[in-house]
Amino acid sequence: MRIVLLGAPGSGKGTQGEKLVAHLGIPKISTGDALRAAVAAGTELGKKAKATMDAGQLVANEIVIGIVEERLAQPDAQKGFILDGFPRNTAQAEVLEGILKRLGKDGISKAVHLHVDDEEIVTRLLLRAEKEGRADDKEDVIRHRIGVYNAETKPLLDFYGKQGKLVTVEGVGSLEDIFSRILGVL
């Protein structure tokens, strides 16, 4: 199974993704984790990414895409994977389809959208910031992040919806209830 997890910051992608890893026995691939792993492994793309990161700049889209492709080619991803944080827009989704084709894999099986109302997300992230002592997560910053996410993701929902691969799950309730809903649509 090849799954893309979609959802705003604070929607529960990380938590539910880890539950899916345990249940399905396939890796969860986060772009941030894949980037750090490529740097640690000293791959060519990892070296390029490290130079950019050391200079305090954002890693170029081409490098991120290359690192995702390297990660998807690894043995543990052959039976399937869960992508978290990639693709972020329609252009990246189209590139992902090309990567999978080059690797001899079928396209994405399901795009699971964890839907949570914006106000609930603000509440969750403010609580998380308070618990973790994060002074940088202010309400205006959170609302801006949600706005950016909504602007980037809406076209992705349409992209996967037109392919018949999008499933939307309400991301509110107990962790077990949400997980059961996800399993119910897979």
Based on the number of CB atoms within 10 Å of its own CB, is 106 exposed (0-12), middle (13-18) or buried (19 or more)? exposed
Buried b (16+ CB within 10 A) or exposed e, 36-56: bbbbeeebebbebbbeebeee
Query: Which entry of 105, 143, 145, 165 is annotated as an active-site residue?
Result: 145
Residue among 108, 137, 110, 135 at smallest CA distance from 10: 137
Q: Does 13 participate in catalysis according to the annotation?
A: yes
Do 114 and 7 form a contact (C-beta atoms < 8 A)?
yes
Q: Does 128 participate in catalysis according to the annotation?
A: yes
Was 32 annotated as part of a binding site? no
Was 59 annotated as part of a binding site? yes
Q: Does 134 participate in catalysis according to the annotation?
A: yes
Q: Does 105 participate in catalysis according to the annotation?
A: no
Was 86 annotated as part of a binding site? yes
Was 186 annotated as part of a binding site? no
Task: Tokens for 183, please give them.
Answer: 């399993």
Was 102 annotated as part of a binding site? no
Query: Which entry of 47, 101, 102, 134 is annotated as an active-site residue?
Result: 134
Was 14 annotated as part of a binding site? yes
Was 153 annotated as part of a binding site? no
Q: Does 143 participate in catalysis according to the annotation?
A: no
Query: Which entry of 2, 13, 50, 71 is annotated as an active-site residue?
Result: 13
Was 171 annotated as part of a binding site? no
The radius of gyration computed from the CA coordinates of the chain, to the nearest angstrom, equals 17
Tell me which residues are annotated as active site.
13, 88, 128, 134, 145
Annotated binding site for AMP: 31, 36, 57-59, 85-88, 92, 134, 145
* Annotation: binding site for ATP: 10-15, 128, 173
